[in-house]
Structure 1
């Protein structure tokens, strides 16, 4: 993976970014940070700004997993939107709890927060997968096992989608997994 900041580097970079904001919108208290550093009270900085120090940065595997999930769901949603009424009814009948207007609902905000954060960064921060913009991305229930099962089958389907949309049967196949 590319960049991997230490806590100290993270604080310095964020303080530099803060300088580019209007004085009334700055988030860091330079006097508090100076007093903590001079007094040897490093802990005070973590207490005050703990949220900027993640336990661990995102892993390449997690970023790849979220990217694959978002890619798969973008195709599912777009493919479903292009289907006829009878094909939509076929999906709903085959997968009654997931087949009616299937949408990507995100990751569990309690147990999959790192994955939810990666998805939010991709969508809202980087402007990727914009069709998901504006959603909470909190599924309120575990989703990794389901998405993992779907992703096992996804490459077989994805490789066939060069110049066509997903079929009802392909969508059923994915939505039925988990």
Structure 2
């Protein structure tokens, strides 16, 4: 979904009217106003998909951001379940936790911030600023391997070997 300037103004004004009248129905006016102000039109459609049936849900960068955050949720869960020597080894892996996206040069950072903070998705993640442009290429490479585990039915849960393969 992409709002033009007039639609954005109307959206914000209606959200402000709902807030002033203290109308709390299915739509959260404060959230809609924030998303409209920030230009996160995609997030309005993501939050209220039943209102936008014919709408393409996500641009490629939004989809990729969600995929990477989802992958990291599974990796984090897998690492949290390790014990003993495996847990000790995992502490030494270079990518044993999500380092975030580059906040200065990567669109994924703002999208992740919106998904996590505004939409309440990916609760275990934090939208961290990695301060490096090398994060995204690494996550893309990890996700390509991760998709292999998904396709083979080996991602729920990830084995120790799979975690090592993805994270070291």
Asked if 1 retains the 8 angstrom alpha-carbon contact of 2:71 and 2:146, the reply is yes
Select which of 118, 122, 127 maps to 1:129: 122
RMSD of aligned Cα (Å): 2.5
Instruction: Give 1:98-177 correspondences, 5 Å limit.
Output: 98=95, 102-112=96-106, 114-132=107-125, 135-142=126-133, 143-159=135-151, 160-161=153-154, 164-176=156-168
SS at match of 1:12: helix
**Aligned with residue 3 of structure 2, among 1, 5, 25:** 5
Cα distance in 1, alignment partners of residues 116 and 37 from structure 2: 20
Deviations 1:109-159 (A, max 9, x none): 1001x2122112222222221112xx3421222221111111111111124
Q: 1:10-29 alignment to 2 at 5 Å?
A: 10-22=8-20
Tell me the CA shift for residue 57 of structure 1: 6.4
What is the TM-score of this pair, normalised by structure 1? 0.66
Q: Which runs of 5+ in 1 are unaligned?
A: 24-50
What do residues 56-86 of structure 1 show as CA deviations (whole Å, max 9, x unaligned)?
9666101110111011100110000111121
Higher-Rg member (1/2): 1
Structure 2: state its 5+ residue gaps: 22-35, 43-57
- Provide the C-alpha distance between the structure 1 equivalents of 2:17 and 2:131, rounded to a whole number of angstroms: 37
SS at match of 2:19: coil
TM-score normalized with structure 2 length: 0.70
Q: Which residue of 2 aligns with 1:27?
A: none
Q: How many residues align?
A: 137
